[in-house]
A and B are shown apart, each in its own frame.
Chain A
Amino acid sequence: MNLRRDVFQAIADPTRRAILVLVASQSMTAGAIASNFDTARPTVSKHLQILTECELLEKEQIGREINYHLNPQKVKEIADFIEPFRKLWDDRFNKLEAIMKQYKTDN
């Protein structure tokens, strides 16, 4: 549960969302990511650390460089997070529809 809550905290921050969008198109080094922001380099590093800890980003060592890329599995989990809420309402409305169809027949 804690880990999952962290994922939502991670995407609540606009800079971290921007990083995810950047890395979504291609894997990048920390330096390349940081060059896209006016924010100080250590701040970007901190954001990268949080995104890696909650598994939204994955690190890959290439020679001396560390490349960051998106973890599509984890991203999909977030994309689906609204689905249970939608399902709750869908079930409720299906019930309403069934009850009213019955009501129509009875009256």
Chain B
Amino acid sequence: MESKTKINAQDGKQDLVITREFDLPLALLFKAYEIPEIVEQWMGTKVLKLENKNHGSYQFETTAPKGNKYGFNGTIHEFILNQKITRTFEMESANFGVQLEFLEFEELTNNTSKLTMHVVYRSVEIRDQILQLPFAQGLNMAHNRLQEIAKTLK
């Protein structure tokens, strides 16, 4: 089966495009970005503030399993219902700086829709670092698991 989420990250560029097709009508997909209680559910974060309007802003706070709190925030440059959201995003605890996000929502059929997320980073290096983050975390986890297995063998 073809994967529904696609990433297009070209070599040497400071941006990337994430696309995803949903088995949801456009209005329902958009609601997942609009209603704070729903954002909280699928993003797994607490929404401290979400002003969905031109020149609005948002603030999220995620609590890690070990209890550490991580803040995310950004400003909403443009908000057009069922069409697009242009916003910035920043991880407060990281040194990646601000990224610019263009979210475009499209209707495919009455019951399917598509999200295109174009993300622009400050530099090629930062984009590559962020792309590699889950990969590196996966490696760390594999490493930790190996250590645990090694302990049981002793």
Residues on A lying within 8 angstroms of B by beta carbon are: 1, 4, 8, 12, 17, 81-90, 92-97, 99-101, 103-104
Question: Complex formed: what's the CA distance from A6 to B5 in Å?
Answer: 29
Tell me the interface secondary structure of chain B in the complex: helix
CB <8 Å contact, B138 and A84:
yes
Take A82-B7, A95-B42 as given contacts and tell me if A88 and B134 are in contact as well, using a CB distance cutoff of 8 Å. Answer: yes
Question: Complex formed: what's the CA distance from A103 to B32 in Å?
Answer: 10
Nearest CB in chain B: distance from A60 CB, A = 28
Interface centre among A4, A17, A96, A104 (most CB of B within 10 A): A96
Q: Which of B23, B38, B135 contacts A84 (CB 8 A)?
A: B135
> Per-position contact with A for B9-52: 1 when CB-CB < 8 Å, else 0?
10100000010101110001101100000100111100000000
In the complex, residue of chain A having the shortest beta-carbon distance to the beta carbon of B24: A100
CB <8 Å contact, A103 and B31:
yes
Q: Which of A1, A87, A92, A103 contacts B143 (CB 8 A)?
A: A1
B side interface size, CB within 8 A? 34
Q: Which of B68-76, B90-98, B125-133 sits within the interface?
A: B125-133
How many A-B pairs with Cβ below 8 Å? 78
Q: Which of B3, B31, B32 contacts A86 (CB 8 A)?
A: B3
A/B interface sample: 27 pairs, CB < 8 A: A1-B136, A1-B139, A1-B143, A8-B128, A82-B9, A84-B135, A84-B137, A85-B132, A85-B133, A85-B134, A85-B135, A86-B3, A86-B6, A86-B7, A88-B134, A89-B5, A90-B4, A93-B4, A93-B20, A93-B22, A95-B41, A96-B22, A97-B22, A99-B42, A100-B31, A100-B38, A104-B24
Nearest CB in chain A: distance from B9 CB, A = 6
CB <8 Å contact, B134 and A90:
no
Question: Complex formed: what's the CA distance from A88 to B74 in Å?
Answer: 21
CB <8 Å contact, B32 and A100:
yes
Question: Complex formed: what's the CA distance from A69 to B122 in Å?
Answer: 36
Contacts of A87 in B (CB 8 A): 134
Contacts of A100 in B (CB 8 A): 22, 24, 28-29, 31-32, 38
Contacts of B137 in A (CB 8 A): 84
CB <8 Å contact, A89 and B18:
yes
Nearest CB in chain B: distance from A17 CB, A = 8
